[in-house]
Structure 1
């Protein structure tokens, strides 16, 4: 989209004059009205934000967060990724990743200016997801030509997001859900759903072995006609330590007094 359109005369407003909830951005001191989003824009923004915020490398992401790029320029990308902060008010500087959804009625001239201001302010990647025409995302980087990715392609942001994001996940709820699940599993320490299933199978095998040993202890004592008190039965059944159960199994083959099982 190139550089911002020149504005030789700065506008009268500063970023610190805007309040939370004001429906304006600022470009070189000039107010830019931001109308409420239509249902499609709002839904797509929420979908994209969930996909991006769930990435394991993202510590902070926001929707419509205000970034004071200069004292007279305040921009609020639809979705943004930046370093976490406890500071209140507008964030100083630019997000590392900014995403804009462009639907019917979008002011294309201001969109060009906004992308240019974000890149000039320090944004590494600016994505424009087009809601009209073929499903596609325009990728803007400082000093680089615009690249366009379509359905079936992946979007990568080295150093910002760990995982590539399918273009479809920024538009389609089902594709977004799959991507969010992958990201959340990685946040929990799993490589993916297959790793969770494998752990479940392993845990099931361990539980089956544990129950088998516990039942073998009681069966062996019963076969030796040794009466086992109820409290001892409960202790054996509740034990989760396989090594301890194996020790008791060996003891059950030798003892003559059930009270000595736990010695």
Structure 2
């Protein structure tokens, strides 16, 4: 990142902090207003600093647009002090660290919007599922559960696409081109893990994969990276035989790290899949 970009982002950060401070009143954050002596519109700098548990001087430097590079913990404290919403909080982090903050499972589990879940269900008999930031399967329709695996029936720590691909023998039966598919899946996961290097849930999953999968131990040191994208997959089902599906990947606007993966089966195959899921 160039010095000009760093300076521009520091100024933008200062402007954001100043604007949000000016928009809050003491009562909004549980402070006495100090009237009639109060002359400041909005909160004082020292009040924000106290709420965020940082020094007034440090906070002043941030508002002045100096290149201070505050930690994620400081940014979270400022976001809380200034009552920022999730979009504003993510923007605050992106200005400093060029990426939004990660949310660990211990802080808040990933949730899929009900309308997204309903959309996934309506796509039957064409398979569809939603994965989260580390490829946990958060929703899947009946067709996807029939052709891949019954995600809700699995233990919570195994409801993960990377785990399924590398550690479940069933995946080698499901995917005709298993080795290529597994390698590509791991390369996409690697790109996400790099963006979340400070997220302990990624570290925990990576450790479990290393402990359980020889392919993980062999392939991870290669540092292969692959982008998200559509394409085709060849699946094998004991009752339906081999199927070829086209798929596309869409990000959920309200949760950009959630990915809707939707597949399209040929008309005849869609009819056979529909009969399969109707039989349960």
TM (normalized to structure 2)?
0.26
Greater percentage in helix: 2
The structure having more radius of gyration, on CA atoms, is: 1
Greater percentage in strand: 1
TM (normalized to structure 1)?
0.28
